[in-house]
Amino acid sequence: MVYSEYFNIERQALDALRGAVKPFELQILSLITFGCPTAYYIYRKNLEVASFALCVVQWNKYFDLEITQYPIERLRYIGKTLAPTILQKEIDCPDQEPIEDLLLKFRALNIPTLAKSSWGLDGTTMEVAFFLQTSQTEARYSWWGDVPKEWKDLESLTQEAILLFRKQSHTKGWFYI
């Protein structure tokens, strides 16, 4: 019962991370095994104006694991529907240039649709998705562990994007795990 509750919460959390912000220009999911899975979004605040904002969404899986793992903790939630503990923070960015530059770099990527990748149990699964609202098209790339060599440019831009999110969130006085 305990594990099925946790896996149900996990499934809900991953759905919440993938669907937290729509429509988005860029979505990065870092689904880390030993840490809190996090989604990073760049989206338009105003569809008529090129005004971008950042959003960080994180699942506090350790809190949810504690609720389902320990019977004494579970007693507190008897009769309540368990839902994932999701933290979400919007980050306004007065300086739009770094975001626009980053999006231009992602759009200029020329990488194969599919590539050979490794798989495993522990580690990090990364997902990067692009959505072009004007044409309603989406592309999603996913890899586990080491990025396929054909996607190295995608990985370096992904890391650059995560650094931008961290820099912007620290500037705004908000730190995340």
Q: Could you tell me how many residues make up the chain?
A: 177
The position carrying tokens 């990364």 is 126
Among 142, 110, 138, which residue's Cα sits nearest to residue 126?
A: 142
Please compute the mean of the pLDDT values over residues 79-106 and round it to a whole number: 91
pTM of the model: 0.89
Please compute the mean of the pLDDT values over residues 64-90 and round it to a whole number: 88
According to the model, what pLDDT value does residue 177 have? Answer: 44
Please compute the mean of the pLDDT values over residues 22-40 and round it to a whole number: 93
Distance separating alpha carbons of residues 141 and 23, to the nearest angstrom:
17
Top pLDDT among 76 and 56 is at: 56
Top pLDDT among 123 and 118 is at: 123
pLDDT in tens, 129-154: 998 776 778 899 999 988 999 999 99
Residue range 2-171 in CATH 2.70.150: no
How sure is the predictor about 29, in pLDDT bands with cuts at 50, 70 and 90? very high
Element (H, E) at 12: helix 2-18
The position carrying tokens 């996090």 is 38
Sign of CA dihedral 126, 136, 13, 3: negative
CA distances from 161 to 30, 111, 158 (A): 12, 18, 5
Distance separating alpha carbons of residues 149 and 86, to the nearest angstrom:
33
Examine the pLDDT at 163 and tell me if it is beyond 70: yes
As given in the structure block, the two tokens for residue 85 are: 């503990």
Examine the pLDDT at 35 and tell me if it is beyond 80: yes
